[in-house]
Amino acid sequence: MKYNQSNLQARMNELLIEQSQHYLQGAVADYIPALAKVLPSSMGVCISTLDGNVVGAGNYQQRFSIQSISKIFGLVMAMNRVGDSLWKRVNMEPSGQPFNSIIQLEWEKGIPRNPVINAGALLVSDVLASHYSSSKLAFLNFVRSLAGDENIHVNMDVYQSELAHGNRNAALAYLMKCFDNIDADIPEVLSHYFTQCSVEMTCQQLTQSLLFLANKGISPSDNRVILSRKDAHRVNAILSTSGMYDQSGEFAFSVGLPAKSGVGGGIVAIVPNYGVICAWSPPLNNFGNSVVGMQLISKLAEELGLSIF
């Protein structure tokens, strides 16, 4: 790699300047009205490495709504809790459909294509709601312990807004319940799902929290086993094939890293045996992925030679 800590910092600052007008090509998500309150020109990027280095630029220490990035944390908790039985209830195939699509779910008898589209994340939320006495608190505690920050919280304004405009997610959950693939009561499942989506974190916190996925399941700072090696492999495989929704193929083609986006404008990318990159810029493209976030990760991955392929 041609960068060291200080010229990487300089390059990241420069990348943000290069991208400074490109956010105008996207649109901030407003189907959850509270998400539209964010400043569209906000922009941050951060890289944390397994050997403990952190380099960040722009608003990388500003909290934002993690939205679907939360699907990674929920999935890890469910895999640890119920083991391989999870894969009887959710598949591991790319969907080729928008993240909140309902069409496929009926054809496939209430079995979601994968755990990182909305239907799959609702299924995972059901697993958590059914196996923890307080799944929302368990989720928060898990994320807080990974990030090493007790102050990570849920934005209740976003939560209420998701609840008030969550008809499509409710429809997905009720459809799965019809097929006997949801155990808990639907309001409880939705409440868990909207809670995890409404958690706010910074780019730096997200990179720190996900280092275990770049390190075969082990947290590099304290050697804690967060996930078995086999399950860490599986999460990265799912993120490579489905983490960017209907743009996952293009992302693998052009960037080549397991990644996950959220409609809050964040994207995380896992670089096995190296570290984690997180970029944030709220305006999204038609797939629900951050326009500038994709550019920032793509350029850094290319210049640092990080592709796994």
Q: Which amino acids are annotated catalytic?
A: 68, 71, 193, 245, 263
- Among 42, 125, 135, 169, interactor with ligand GLN by CB under 6 A: 169
Does residue number 247 form part of the binding site for ligand GLN (CB under 6 A)?
no
Residues 178-197 that bind ligand GLN (CB under 6 A): 197
- What is the closest distance, in whole angstroms, from the C-beta atom of residue 166 to ligand GLN in the complex? 7
Binding-residue pattern over the window 87 to 116 for ligand GLN, x denoting contact by CB under 6 A: ------------xx----------------
According to CB under 6 A, which one of 74, 154, 162, 258 is a site residue for ligand GLN?
162
263 binds ligand GLN (CB under 6 A): yes
Each residue 123-142 as x (binds ligand GLN by CB under 6 A) or -, in order, gives --------------------
Q: Count the residues of the shown chain that bind ligand GLN, applying the rule CB under 6 A.
A: 11
Is the CB of 43 or the CB of 119 nearer to ligand GLN?
A: 119
Residue 288 binds to ligand GLN (criterion: CB under 6 A):
yes
Chain residue whose CB lies nearest ligand GLN? 68
Tell me the C-alpha distance between 281 and 162, whole Å: 20
Q: Per CB under 6 A, which of residues 66..85 are in contact with ligand GLN?
A: 67-68
Residue pair 65/290 in contact (Cβ under 8 Å)? The answer is no
